[in-house]
Amino acid sequence: MLQAALDLLDRRDVGFRGLTMQAVAARSGVSKATLYRWWPNKAHLVLDAYRSKAARDIAAPLTGDLRTDLQTHLGRLAFTLINLESARTVTEITLAAVEDRSFGDLYRQTLLKERRQAVLDILTAGRARGQVRADADLAVAADAAFGAIHHRLLLTKEPIDGYFIAGLAALIVGGLST
């Protein structure tokens, strides 16, 4: 059911706004009642689908080197956005989170919180290894990483490529270094 939702979300003719529980039920071969037993509405289904996709495609690495781990993680995020047809869907979900208070609260409590925590885990591990200053604000660094990526995704439409990700990781690590 989650994969059916993802397949429909990433289709140009459907996307977040066009997605219906009926379409997900038809694609997954279950009844709408079955979907509603698991998810009370489309918002919950979409967020669970993207949470599963993120867990699968953007797992946080822990190699022992802060810059490598951060660059790898952010690179996987960029690859997912650009090469797995997710940029438009993430843009639509972000806009919906801004426009709909209830959906926005759910988005922040689930998907956004988990993605942010993955970056915080990388930075915390770097601190434990002595690669990050004790007084560095890890939350600001995590927000800077996502802010830069989402700025390009939503506003400038500049490339979110390997060069950008390497520079972003270097900038963040440089600012946190002991």
CATH code of the domain in which 173 resides: 1.10.357.10
The total domain count for the chain is 2
Domain around 131: 60-178
Task: Report the first-to-last Cα separation within the chain, whole angstroms.
Answer: 46
Distance, in Å, from the CA atom of 10 to the CA atom of 17, rounded to the nearest integer, reads 11
Among residues 41, 57, 73, which one ends one of the domains?
57
Three-state helix/strand/coil letters over the chain = CHHHHHHHHCCCCCHHHHCCHHHHHHHHCCCHHHHHHHCCCHHHHHHHHHHHHHHHHCCCCCCCCHHHHHHHHHHHHHHHHHHCCCHHHHHHHHHHHHHCHHHHHHHHHHHHHHHHHHHHHHHHHHHHCCCCCCCCCHHHHHHHHHHHHHHHHHHHCCCCCHHHHHHHHHHHHHHHCC
In a shared domain, residues 50 and 66: no
State how far the alpha carbon of 173 is from the alpha carbons of 56, 69, 154, in Å: 25, 11, 24
Q: List per-residue pLDDT tens for the chain, 178 residues long.
A: 999 999 999 888 898 889 999 999 999 999 999 999 999 999 999 999 988 988 887 877 789 999 999 999 999 988 888 876 688 888 888 999 999 999 999 999 998 999 999 999 999 999 999 999 999 999 999 999 999 999 998 899 899 999 999 999 999 999 999 7
In a shared domain, residues 51 and 75: no
In a shared domain, residues 51 and 70: no
Predicted confidence at residue 88, as pLDDT, reads 84
Predicted confidence at residue 165, as pLDDT, reads 97
In a shared domain, residues 138 and 161: yes
In a shared domain, residues 163 and 111: yes
In a shared domain, residues 116 and 28: no
